[in-house]
Amino acid sequence: MPLAWRSLTANKWRLVRSSAGIGFAVLLMLMQLGFSQAFFDASLRVLRNLDGDLFLQSAHKYQFATQDPIPISLLAAARKVPGVASARPLYADWYDLYWKSPADGRLYLVRGFAFEPNQPVFRLPEVNADRAQLNNPGAVLVDRRGRRFLGMDTDVKQSEINDAKVDVVGKFTLGPDFMSDGTVIMGVDTFARLLRGRGGERPGMEAGVIKIAADADPRAVEKMLRQAMPANVAVLSKSQLLAFERAFQARVSSAGPIFAIGTVVGFVVGMLISYQIIFTEISDQLPQYATLKAIGYPSPYLLRVVLEQAALNGMAGWIPAWLLGLGLYHLIGVIALLPMRMTLEITLTSLGLTLAMCLVSAAVAVIRVIRADPAAVF
């Protein structure tokens, strides 16, 4: 049996205490990693569900969820580009649509998307199944996974947006993000009427959704489309649009950096806890290490034993923390409607961080073993 394992399990209560301490730091990192993953997934969910290969938007946009419309006349120029199968408008608003909850009668800000019902732009099956009904004035589709206080998950048939009556003709499944509590999708005529009711004019489109013909070269079409568009219009592929939004959320928005800092804090806390645990164990077992040195075991062997013990300590804390995190992810997902999922990436990242903090702490603490003089110890 390895010496590190024997040393680790010699005192069962000390093992439980050390595992709990390391597990606390691991759980802290797991929660930060989970919230970070949920934050990005929720922020990118709308973009991932857009049914397009290329996208037109204002070159001045720093985030997709900002009002910066472009003329719909650009789609006519886009359709003339060889290889373009379709060019369809997407209208959006994040700041001017107030939904009246049937649950409590209060007004809540929601995000709204609109399109021409005969020109679908979403890959959501439920939206496409009910899109013909959006030709009716005041018809809307609501997100059944919106925050529960919106009442969209109930059997609501009619409500109000911006003090105008709307008919709920169907539902879809999308979910909220860290900015928006719920989503409403409608036809462009209803969308314009609701915004005019608040003093606005017929809106310009927020994005042009372009589909490339199956037999066309995507890179060639993208290049020609860029040449056909004015300088103030950006042409982005699906991957570029997702990367653009993710970069904003990671570097500019307040939430993205907070979760990264939280993960670093958890790692530092774990290092301090791990160092204290390993240093205490080395201090208690210093006579045994000194004896090993006295009978001829070299310092690299002792270093290996301490590092093995630190790694086993880390695993003893990581396994229960991972299982607890799995349960918390599910609970938070049910309560907060966030896409908290224990992915392989989070699992491997947390395991790597756990082993790193334990091994680094052990490498610092083992100096005492290497410098130990058997004569001085005894």
Quick: pLDDT tens for 59-97: 999 889 888 999 999 999 999 999 999 999 999 999 999
Q: Are residues 38 and 70 in the same domain?
A: no
Place of tokens 């991972």: 322
Is the same domain home to 355 and 223? no
Say what the pLDDT of residue 9 is. 74
Q: Please report whether residue 249 resides in a domain.
A: no
Per-residue model confidence (pLDDT) at position 347: 95
Domain-located, residue 55: no
- pLDDT score at 378: 55
Mean per-residue pLDDT of the chain: 88
Are 16 and 111 in a shared domain?
no
Angle at 313 between CA 312 and CA 319, to 5 degrees: 85
Residue 249 banded pLDDT, cuts 50, 70, 90:
confident
The pLDDT score that the predictor gives to residue 376 is 56
Of the listed ranges 11-20, 118-127, 165-174, the one predicted with least confidence: 11-20
Whether residue 81 is found in the same domain as residue 218:
yes
Last residue of a domain, one of 230, 263, 282: 230
Same domain, 206 and 269: no
Statement: residue 200 has pLDDT above 60? no
- Are residues 179 and 288 located together in one domain of the fold? no
Are 95 and 214 part of one and the same domain? yes
Predicted pLDDT at 111: 95
Do 189 and 258 lie in one domain? The reply is no
62/301: higher pLDDT? 62
Q: Which domain, by its residues, includes 114?
A: 60-230
Can you read off the two tokens belonging to residue 318?
């990581």
Residue 202 confidence (pLDDT): 63
- Helix/strand/coil (H/E/C) assignment for every residue in the chain: CCHHHHHHHCCHHHHHHHHHHHHHHHHHHHHHHHHHHHHHHHHHHHHHCECCCEEEEECCCCCCCCCCCECCCHHHHHHCCCCEEEEEEEEEEEEEEEEECCCCCCEEEEEEEEECCCCCCECCHHHHHHHHHHHCCCEEEEECCCCHHHCCCCCCCEEEECCEEEEEEEEECCCCCCCCCCEEEEEHHHHHHHHHCCCCCCCCECEEEEEECCCCCHHHHHHHHHHHCCCCEEEEEHHHHHHHHHHHHHHCCCHHHHHHHHHHHHHHHHHHHHHHHHHHHHHHCHHHHHHHHHCCCCHHHHHHHHHHHHHHHHHHHHHHHHHHHHHHHHHHHHHHCCCCCCCHHHHHHHHHHHHHHHHHHHHHHCHHHHHCCHHHHC
pLDDT value, residue 207: 95
Q: Are residues 9 and 138 in the same domain?
A: no
pTM score of the predicted model: 0.81
pLDDT tens sequence across 251-291: 777 777 788 888 899 899 988 988 888 888 777 777 777 77
265 shares its domain with 163: no
Burial of 120 (0-12, 13-18, 19+ CB in 10 A): middle
* 331 located within any domain: yes
Given this model, what pLDDT does residue 55 score? Answer: 96
The mean pLDDT value for 341-347 works out to 93
Same domain? For 188 and 123 the reply is: yes
| Residue 18, pLDDT score | 86
pLDDT value, residue 375? 57
Least confident of 101-105, 142-146, 222-226: 101-105
Instruction: Flag whether 122 is in a domain.
Output: yes
148, 69: one domain: yes
Is 306 within the bounds of a domain? yes
**Structure tokens given for 363:** 């490498």
Provide the number of structural domains found in the chain: 2
Residue 48 lies in a domain: no
Higher-confidence residue of 367 and 146: namely 146
Instruction: Inform me whether the pLDDT recorded for 11 exceeds 80.
Output: no
